[in-house]
Amino acid sequence: MKKTDKGVARSYGMLIVIFLFMVSCAPVISKQLREKVRPDITFSAVLHDPESYKGQMIILSGIIIETENTKEGTVLRILQRPAGFRGKPKDVDATGGRFLALDNRYLDVNVYSKGRSVTIAGEILGKRIIPLGQIDYQYPLISVEEIYLWPTEKTYPSRYYYYPQDYWWLRSRYPYY
């Protein structure tokens, strides 16, 4: 191989790496929907008065509380969480409240199960009042246009074996300890 061929191959390789890096950092909601969303609409404002935001587009993230298939589609009851990198719900205790996401497709309740993280984009349809324990809770109702189910994160046991702090001190003084 000539020197110039190696340089060209290296340049193409670098372009591929840059392209893959850029694609991996892309948001999970399409650009067309993100452009329709007004950034000044907050979840707390929608939760307070969903009727005044009817017809507006919104992107929300959260944790699935319950999934139910009905005649009108699949209804996801979601606990809102602030969005982090790429729109993924942050693993924090802070929440703005709950909302309902209505998808006109059939979504399997075993896949879209309790505890899974989702990011949705859709139109605000208004509100539904559903009993929550002893109270009637006002849920903002969102018609899902795009939904992203985040993969579950696998946890592995720690490889580090814990030794008490005094263990090494004792071992240096008493080699047969």
Q: Which domains does the chain have, with CATH numbers?
A: 28-149 (2.40.50.140)
pLDDT exceeds cutoff 90 at 130: yes
With tokens 């994160």, the residue in question is 153
Q: Mention every residue, 6+ apart, whose C-beta is less than 8 A from residue 102.
A: 72, 73, 74, 75, 76, 125, 141, 142, 143, 144
Q: Which residue has the higher pLDDT, 80 or 157?
A: 80
Query: What is the Cα–Cα distance from 95 to 1, expressed in whole angstroms?
Result: 59
pLDDT tens figures, 103-123: 999 999 999 999 999 999 999
pLDDT category, 64, cuts 50, 70, 90?
very high
Is 0.95 surpassed by the pTM of this model?
no
pLDDT tens figures, 142-155: 999 999 999 988 87
